Structure 1
Amino acid sequence: MFLIKDRIVLSMSMIRFISGMIEFTAALLMFKFNSRETAFQINSFLALVGPTVMILVTSLGLIGLAGKFSLLQMGVIIVGVTLIFIGMKL
């Protein structure tokens, strides 16, 4: 099927796969409970999962690319990720 030689890529894809399964399970639970309040609570939980997954996958990507970027490029990437989180809070 797929041949993945890089452990970082495998880790990143597995985290995203698990995140997708959490999202899918949450949707099924919303259908099962059929309640606006419960759906809102489940959605609130997902609001915590999304940024956590993004941080983990981005961190793994940066670790994997650390040797390929200059210190300036790494700094720009870190500033960019930080700005994403600042933008989400505004």
Structure 2
Amino acid sequence: MKLDKFVTSMASLRLLSGTLEILAALWMLKLGRVDQALAVNSGLALVGPTILILTTSIGLIGMADKLSWGKMIFITIGVACLLIGILKK
């Protein structure tokens, strides 16, 4: 079975993200203080949206020949709305 390079890239990024999350949780436990754990958690706030953007971009590039420009724009607007909702205070 031949794996698609786009799917492999997307899955690899998600594995990296999950690994970082687990390592951060272990680090929080090792630190044992709320203020330091909160600092580690704040650093993770950059990881989630970055992985979302990268995996979505790779997926869209992989599907570019199958989607119309209108659908690509619609998907991009949807991702932008998600990011605005996540990052807006």
Give the Cα–Cα distance (whole angstroms) in 1 for the partners of residues 26 and 2 of structure 2: 31
CA distance in 1, matches of 2:22, 2:84: 28
- Which ranges in structure 1 are unaligned for 5 or more consecutive residues? none
- Give how far 1:69 is off: 0.5
C-alpha separation in 1, matches of 2:32 and 2:2 = 40
Distance across 1 between alignment mates of 2:3 and 2:18:
23
Structure 1 runs (4+) deviating above 2 angstroms are none
Q: What is the aligned-residue RMSD (CA, Å)?
A: 1.1
Q: Please, what TM-score do these two structures have when normalized by structure 2?
A: 0.93
Contact in 2 for aligned 1:23/1:46 (Cα 8 Å): yes
Shift of residue 33, structure 1, vs aligned partner: 0.8
Which residue identity does 1:76 align to in structure 2?
F
How far is the alpha carbon of 1:5 from its aligned partner?
1.7
Count of aligned pairs: 88
- TM superposition score normalised by structure 1: 0.92
User: What is the Cα deviation at residue 85 of structure 1?
Assistant: 1.4
Q: Which amino acid aligns with 1:65?
A: M
> 1:62 and 2:60 equivalent?
yes
Tell me, yes or no, if structure 1 residue 23 matches structure 2 residue 21. yes
Q: Among all aligned residue pairs of Structure 1 and Structure 2, give the percentage whose two residues are the same amino acid.
A: 47
- Runs of at least 5 residues in structure 2 that lack an aligned partner in the other structure: none
Offset at residue 65 of structure 1 (A): 0.5
Cα deviation code 1:30-76 (max 9, x no counterpart): 11110101100000000011101111101000000111001111111
Amino acid at match of 2:51: V
Equivalent residue number for residue 10 of structure 1: 8
Which stretch shows the higher mean deviation, 3-12 or 21-30? Answer: 3-12
